[in-house]
Amino acid sequence: MNFLLSWVHWTLALLLYLHHAKWSQAAPTTEGEQKTHEVIKFMDVYQRSYCRPIETLVDIFQEYPDEIEYIFKPSCVPLMRCAGCCNDEALECVPTSESNITMQIMRIKPHQSQHIGEMSFLQHSRCECRPKKDRTKPEKKSVRGKGKGQKRKRKKSRFKSWSVHCEPCSERRKHLFVQDPQTCKCSCKNTDSRCKARQLELNERTCRCDKPRR
C-alpha cells in the first residue's frame, strides 16, 4: 500500500514538472532577456558624435522661405549637413565643402494645380571644427573735439536717436514672418485661407498652420 502511494506521488510530481517545463518553453521572452546589456565603447561614441556631415531632415520652407503659396510633398527632405561636437567650446562645426543636389518635389497650389518639379538643395560634403566668429560689433571710439566738429557730432546723435531698431519677430523661424521696418509690426507670411486649404488653422503667434483645437 505504501509503495502504491509513493508511486502515485512521484508520478504526479513528474507530470507537474513536465507541464511547467512545456509552458516555460512556450512563453515568449522579453526583449531584455533576448539581448544582453550592450555598452557602446568610448571610441565609437567619440567618432559618431564628432563634427561630420550627417543626414538631417530639413524643412523645405527653411530653404525656400518666399514660396509660401505652395504646399510641398514631402514637406521636408533628407540632406547631408554638418553637425556634431568639437573638442573645444571656442570651436564650432562648420562646412568647408558644399555641393548641390536636385530632388523631385510635388508642388501644390491649393484649389489650383499640382505638379512634380525639380528643386535644388545645398548639401555639406566636408566639415571642420573652426573658431567661432565674433558676432558682436566693435564699439566705435568717440573722438573728442571742439567747435564745428563737436556741433556736427551733436547733430548726428540727434538724428540717430530718431532711427528705429526693431527686435526680430522670432529667433527660430524668421522666414515665417514679415516685419514693417517703420512700425516694427510683425505679420505672418502664411494666410488663414492657405492653412484652411490644408484643413488646418493659422496660429498667429507662431505663424504656422496648426491642427484645429477641439
**Range(s) for CATH 2.10.90.10 in the chain?**
48-131
Q: Which CATH superfamily is domain 48-131 in?
A: Cystine-knot cytokines (2.10.90.10)
**Range(s) for CATH 2.10.160.10 in the chain?**
174-210
Give the per-residue pLDDT at 129. 96
Cis preceding-peptide flag for 74 (omega within 30 of 0)? yes
Give the per-residue pLDDT at 214. 62
Give the per-residue pLDDT at 212. 78
Give the per-residue pLDDT at 160. 43
**Residue that is written with C-alpha cell 526583449 in the block:** 31
DSSP letters of 84-107?
-B-SSTTEEEEEEEEEEEEEEEEE
| Contact criterion met (CB below 8 Å) for 99 and 135 | no
**Residue that is written with C-alpha cell 548726428 in the block:** 156
Query: What is the third-level CATH fold of 174-210?
Result: 2.10.160
- pTM, 2 dp: 0.48
In tens digits, what is the pLDDT along the chain, a chain of 214 residues? 544 545 555 565 556 555 555 544 554 555 555 567 899 999 999 999 999 999 999 999 999 998 888 999 999 999 999 999 999 999 999 999 999 999 999 999 988 899 999 999 999 999 999 999 865 555 555 555 555 555 444 444 443 434 456 777 765 566 777 777 777 778 787 777 777 777 788 887 778 787 777 6
